[in-house]
């Protein structure tokens, strides 16, 4: 007996719903010390729009995200953006057809910094 299933990979699902124009509702930055304790945080809202096109290109419409056109791709866990000759990998934290949250964690002098973007359609 042969059974066929129609199961789309998660990264293909992300690729399908990411296409379109997203509002950058909130940007937050969290600073943690070496012990993992939150030392500081900042937040800004209404940071413009980001457009993801089906051909793997995009535009930072408000200029507040990466400030230019970019190329994008994804895996089931990461959003990968290339702009100005630099490629950056972001962790996909949440996604649906109307909400998208991704972040990047980088080392800092006193611990680590987390930058997080909250997008909606």
pLDDT confidence band for 117 (50 / 70 / 90): very high
Residues in the chain: 121
Contact 80, 66 (CB under 8 A): no
CA distances from 78 to 22, 61, 93 (A): 17, 22, 9
pLDDT for 11: 63
Region 47-53: mean pLDDT is 94
pLDDT above 90 (res 2): no
pLDDT above 80 (res 59): yes
pTM for this entry:
0.83
Question: Which one has a higher pLDDT value, 3 or 121?
Answer: 121
Question: Which one has a higher pLDDT value, 1 or 112?
Answer: 112
pLDDT above 50 (res 13): yes
Which CATH architecture fits 10-120? Beta Barrel (2.40)
What are the residue boundaries of the structural domains of the chain, listed by start? 10-120
Q: Which runs of E-coded beta strand occur in the chain?
A: 20-33, 38-45, 49-52, 57-60, 69-74, 78-83, 86-95, 99-108, 111-120
Residues contacting residue 19 through CB under 8 Å, at least 6 positions apart: 52, 53, 54
């Amino acid at each position: 007996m042969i059974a066929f299933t129609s199961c789309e990979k998660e990264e293909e699902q992300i690729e399908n719903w990411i296409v379109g124009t997203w509002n950058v509702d909130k940007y937050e930055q969290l600073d943690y010390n070496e012990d993992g304790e939150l030392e500081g945080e900042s937040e800004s809202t209404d940071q413009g729009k980001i457009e993801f096109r089906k051909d793997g290109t995009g535009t930072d419409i408000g200029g507040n995200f990466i400030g230019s056109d970019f190329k994008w791709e994804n895996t089931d866990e990461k959003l990968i953006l290339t702009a100005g000759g630099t490629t950056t990998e972001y962790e996909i934290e949440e996604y649906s057809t109307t909400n998208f949250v991704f972040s990047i964690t980088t080392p800092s002098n006193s611990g680590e910094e987390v930058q997080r973007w909250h997008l909606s359609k």
